[in-house]
Structure formats: C-alpha cells, structure tokens
Amino acid sequence: MYFPVFLLLMITFGSQLSFGVFFKVIANEFGFSRALVSGIILASLIVYGISSLLSGRLTDKWGAFPVVLSGLVCGSLGYLLITTARSFLELYIYYGLGIGLCVASSYAPISATISKVFPEKKEKMLSFAFLGIPFGQLFLPPFLATLLEKFGWRMTSFSLSVLLWLFFLPILFQLWKYRKIHFRIKEKRIGKFDLIFFRNPSLWMLLITGLVISAGFHFLSIHIVPYATDLGMPLSLAALTLSFSNLGSLLGTFSAWYLVKQFGHKKSSSYSCA
C-alpha cells in the first residue's frame, strides 16, 4: 500500500511546495506585490491546517476513501479554476480552498488508515510512504518549471489538475479495498474526541515545534526560486535549487523508521529537533 500513498503525497505536497516556481510569473502577469502573492500560499496553508482537523474527524466517522476522494475533487477543480483566474481574489479562493482542502484530505486520512491496517509495522510503512513528500519536492519543481517555460503557467496548472487524477487513482483503489477494516476497527473503539486533550502540555509543545519548523520550511520553499531568478538564474535552474534544498528532508524521512525502531518516538523526535 505504501507505493500508492507515496504517489498521493508526492503530487499533493510536491505541487503545493512547488508554488515558488509560479511566484514571479503570477506577480508579473497580475501586477501583484510579492506580499500579495505570498498570501496565496498562506491562504492555502491556513485552510490546510484548519481542515486537517475536520478531515481527521471525518475519517474516523466515514473512513478514508470518501475523504481522499473529496480532496481529489477539490484539488483538481482548484487547479482547473486557477487557469481562469483574472483577479487576486479568485487566485486566493481557488488555490487557497482547492489546494488547501486537497492536501488536508490526504495526510491525516492516510496516516490513520496505515496505522489501522498495519498496526505492527506502521512506523516502517509511514516512513517509506511519506518519502513521497520530499520526492515530490525533488522532482516536481524542475518538471513544472519546464512546462511553465514551454506552455505558460495556466496550462501548467491545468496539467496538475490532470496529474492529480492519475496519482490519486492507485490509492483510491487501495482505500476501497480496505474500507471494511475501518468499520471493524471503528466498532471496537472506546471513547471519543475530547477537548481535554488540548490541556496536555506535550501536545502544545508538538504544535509549537511543528509551527516553527513549518514556517521556516515553507518560507524557503516559496521564496528560494524567485530569489534565484533575481540573481539571474533561468527558471529551470532556479527550480533545481528548490529541489536540492530538499535533500535533508529526504534523508530525514528515510531514516525516521530506523530511528523510531532503535530509540523510540520521544528520543527520535528530540534527535530530529536537535
């Protein structure tokens, strides 16, 4: 199952993290400031963060298949509608809602499903499946930059709309296959979600750590390509700087399973933060 998950995360996160490839083209065509263009991806990240809570809740109730399918529809429609955008408000809505919901509907449901279907080897499965995220950022930026230079950013966005369907189909078949496992496990669940969890200091420490790491990571992924083109690099070469900046993430994701297996979750997290 991990290869279909790999493909899913590769296209969802890889396309979102490749936004820097489109940055200056959109700014120049619409006459936006860089602050306004940055707001487009910010809107997507806000929607992603908020709707991740909802997607996890819906996965608990209905299973991952309908949640992931709805994310596919939102993402594909978002990239398709972006090709018709004529104002910054349309870009904010289409990209912010469409791509934000798409990414949120992939990560949490897939994590929950793998943990339920493969409880004894979930660390290994998650580590290998989540390699799709760094691989997406490794290969998609130069690929999208090449498409953009040849066909323009609107046609490139349309291509992403089509690619989402191709990359989502394998995991949708797998989720349909395992849908009955979800309901068998659901019957055995004890207790419900309670806001008391938010009183846990460990949870807040994880949230703050994730916020800091994510902020720095996304700042780099959004602005490194425009900065490289400011220095005179062609877009295709500038996109490679984004790809190679992700090698550390690739190594970390690949080694996560080994670290957890050897040292446990707490020590592995401490080593990663250090």
For residue 206, the number of C-alpha atoms closer than 13 Å in the C-beta half-sphere is 10
| Percentage of the chain modeled with pLDDT above 90 | 38
Can you give the residue range of the structural domain that contains 171? Answer: 2-273
Measure the CA dihedral 259/45/77/135, to 10°: -30
Q: Where are the alpha helices (DSSP H) in 63-99?
A: 64-82, 88-93
User: Residue 178 maps to which CATH number?
Assistant: 1.20.1250.20
The count of domains in the chain is 1
Higher pLDDT, 220 or 139: 139
Token look-up 């395992």 returns 178
Per-residue pLDDT tens over the stretch 61-108: 888 889 999 999 999 999 999 999 998 899 999 999 999 999 999 888
Q: What is the pLDDT of residue 20?
A: 92
SS3 sequence, 158-220?
HHHHHHHHHHHHHHHHHHHHCHHHHHHHHHHCCCCCCHHHHHCHHHHHHHHHHHHHHHHHHHH
Mean pLDDT of the chain: 82
Would the pLDDT of 52 be above 90? no
* CA–CA dist 239, 10 (Å, integer): 16
| Helix (H) / strand (E) containing 230 | helix 201-230
Would the pLDDT of 169 be above 70? yes
Lowest average pLDDT, out of 11-25, 119-133, 134-148, 252-266, goes to 252-266
Q: Is the pTM of this model over 0.85?
A: no
Q: What is the pLDDT of residue 168?
A: 93
Token look-up 């996109």 returns 239
Q: What is the pLDDT of residue 268?
A: 59
Q: What is the pLDDT of residue 71?
A: 93
Tally: H helices and E strands in the chain: 13, 0
> Mean of the pLDDT values across residues 222-234?
91
Q: What is the pLDDT of residue 272?
A: 57
Q: What is the pLDDT of residue 191?
A: 47
Higher pLDDT, 14 or 206: 14
